[in-house]
């Protein structure tokens, strides 16, 4: 087959993200048997390094599971394993991915109530507390980094409130893990779910879950968790440095190499600082453009994705044209989360676009991208 027309675009979408040549090359390391000692050579360090990246000390009582599929599989495992027939779930949504967590609970037949915020807002603790009082949930679903709007929530405070109400807290950290300090000992979530293809700078293929002792105990009491969504089964295999079903061994090789690079070459602190610098650079760029506005409120702006509301006369359709203009220049531009822009335009509001600045994207790559995008945006605006 002729692969010459597979264009090597620089991805500035919000996942999957740019993959470094070293990680691409790691994809050609030897395949292995997933129940063989070769598996432990990869997954042993993978489990240890994931825990370190989550800020967990060596003697932590959190357990880590690697779940085949993607982030959504880790989230579905969460709702199936941590809520039984007598439990009520409260899903807290500030956007499309909060809505996804809600949908997973509902489509799995769980008793679910929702607390919903306007797109672009962060959750606030006063309304969360009122909802906790009203609903008395046993499990609360939270989003750390709402990828559709660029809002990063204060999840540590929310988790504390959830615990004060006697419920378990599940956090979707899919687009931020690997791009910001997570500090699980301080945040104390009962489950923190993430994935490989966003701030970790890898292809998609694994969900990752960090699980507290309380969640481990709860999962053991929940019936009918399914099989590939059974957290207890996943953790049983993880205890042997394995996955429940056959993993993508190509991705396992890449994950092993990438985590070693993050922890021992780039360094976590440097990686997290680079993300903040990229966020601030994008904010400065947007503020220099007349009429364009940052969608997330100050103090809640994501270190990994920036969402921008465009001025009139620009429409969502214009953002799609900009995507094609940028493609011709070698970039994949993100013209906003589709459903969000439809809802925005239906209610007379201006649409948004997003810039992903996560994973292994460097400041130099970002500068080159912004240098191309600036004139394109100005020209489109007229």
Ligand X SMILES: *Cc1c(COP(=O)(O)O)cnc(C)c1O
DSSP-derived pairing of the beta strands 88-93 and 111-116: parallel
CB of 71 to ligand X, least distance (A): 3
Q: Which is nearer to ligand X, 69 or 351 (CB)?
A: 69
Q: Which is nearer to ligand X, 32 or 175 (CB)?
A: 175
CB of 152 to ligand X, least distance (A): 10
Rounded Cα distance, 268 and 259, in Å? 10
Cβ atoms of residues 303 and 276 within 8 Å:
yes
CB of 203 to ligand X, least distance (A): 11
Cβ contacts of 19 within 8 Å, gap of 6 or more: 201, 202, 203, 360
Rounded Cα distance, 162 and 308, in Å? 31
Among positions 147, 149, 243, 341, the unique one binding ligand X when judged by CB under 6 A:
147
Cβ atoms of residues 17 and 331 within 8 Å:
no
Q: Which is nearer to ligand X, 97 or 369 (CB)?
A: 97
Site for ligand X contains 72 (CB under 6 A): yes
CB of 112 to ligand X, least distance (A): 17
Buried b (16+ CB within 10 A) or exposed e, 43-74: bebbbbbbbbbbbbeeebebbbbbbbbbbbbb
SS3 call for 47 = helix
Among positions 11, 12, 15, 56, the unique one binding ligand X when judged by CB under 6 A:
15
Rounded Cα distance, 313 and 134, in Å? 43
35 annotated to bind ligand: no
Site for ligand X contains 172 (CB under 6 A): yes
Q: Which is nearer to ligand X, 245 or 325 (CB)?
A: 245
CA–CA distances in Å: residue 270 to residues 51, 74, 116, 369: 18, 28, 35, 22
Rounded Cα distance, 3 and 171, in Å? 40
SS3 call for 208 = strand
CB of 70 to ligand X, least distance (A): 3
CB of 109 to ligand X, least distance (A): 20
* Cα–Cα–Cα angle for 345, 349, 353, rounded to 5 degrees: 75
DSSP-derived pairing of the beta strands 139-143 and 145-146: unpaired
Among positions 56, 135, 174, 182, the unique one binding ligand X when judged by CB under 6 A:
174
CB of 28 to ligand X, least distance (A): 24
Site for ligand X contains 204 (CB under 6 A): yes
Residues in 279-308 at the binding interface with ligand X, rule: CB under 6 A:
none
Which residue is listed with tokens 């970002």?
366
Site for ligand X contains 97 (CB under 6 A): yes
DSSP-derived pairing of the beta strands 331-332 and 111-116: unpaired
300: its two tokens: 């809640």
Site for ligand X contains 71 (CB under 6 A): yes
Site for ligand X contains 209 (CB under 6 A): no
Choices 69-77, 129-137, 255-263, 339-347 (CB under 6 A): range interacting with ligand X: 69-77
Site for ligand X contains 175 (CB under 6 A): yes
Site for ligand X contains 336 (CB under 6 A): no
Site for ligand X contains 13 (CB under 6 A): no
The number of residues that bind ligand X (CB under 6 A) is: 15
* Bind-site residues for substrate: 354
* Bind-site residues: 354
Question: Could you list the residues that contact ligand X (CB under 6 A)?
Answer: 15, 70-72, 97, 100, 143, 145, 147, 172, 174-175, 195, 198, 204
């Amino acid at each position: 087959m002729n692969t010459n027309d597979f264009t090597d675009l620089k991805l500035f979408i919000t996942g999957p993200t740019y993959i470094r040549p070293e990680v691409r090359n790691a994809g050609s390391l030897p395949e292995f048997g997933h129940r063989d000692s070769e598996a432990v050579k990869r997954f042993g360090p993978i489990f240890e390094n994931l825990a370190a990246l989550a800020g967990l000390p060596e003697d932590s009582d959190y357990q880590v599971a690697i779940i085949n599929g993607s982030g959504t599989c880790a989230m579905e495992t969460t709702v199936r394993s941590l809520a039984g027939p007598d439990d009520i779930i409260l899903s807290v949504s500030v956007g499309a991915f909060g809505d996804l967590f809600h949908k997973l609970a509902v489509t799995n037949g769980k008793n679910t109530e929702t607390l919903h915020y306007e797109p672009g807002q962060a959750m606030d603790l006063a309304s969360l507390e009122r909802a906790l009082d009203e609903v008395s949930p046993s499990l609360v679903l939270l989003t750390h980094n709402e990828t559709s709007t660029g809002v990063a929530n204060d999840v540590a405070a929310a988790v504390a409130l959830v615990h004060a109400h006697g419920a378990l807290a599940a956090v979707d950290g899919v687009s931020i893990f690997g791009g910001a300090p997570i500090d699980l000992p301080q945040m104390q979530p009962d489950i923190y779910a993430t994935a490989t293809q966003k701030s970790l700078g890898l292809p998609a293929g694994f969900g990752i879950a960090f699980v507290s002792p309380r969640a481990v105990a709860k999962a053991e009491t929940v019936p009918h968790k399914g099989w590939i969504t059974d957290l207890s089964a996943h953790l049983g295999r993880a205890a042997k440095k394995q996955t429940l079903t056959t993993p993508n061994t190509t991705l396992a090789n890449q994950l092993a190499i990438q985590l070693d690079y993050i922890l021992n070459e780039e360094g976590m602190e440097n990686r997290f600082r680079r993300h903040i610098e990229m966020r601030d650079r994008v904010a400065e760029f947007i503020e220099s453009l007349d009429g364009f506005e940052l969608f997330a409120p100050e103090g809640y702006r994501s270190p990994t994705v920036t969402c921008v509301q465009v001025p009139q006369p620009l429409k969502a359709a214009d953002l799609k044209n900009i995507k094609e203009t940028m493609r011709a220049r070698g970039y994949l531009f993100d013209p906003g989360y589709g459903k969000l822009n439809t809802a925005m335009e239906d209610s007379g509001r201006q649409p948004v676009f997003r810039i992903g600045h996560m994973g292994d994207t460097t400041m130099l790559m970002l500068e080159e991208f912004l240098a191309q995008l600036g004139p394109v945006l100005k020209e489109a605006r007229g």
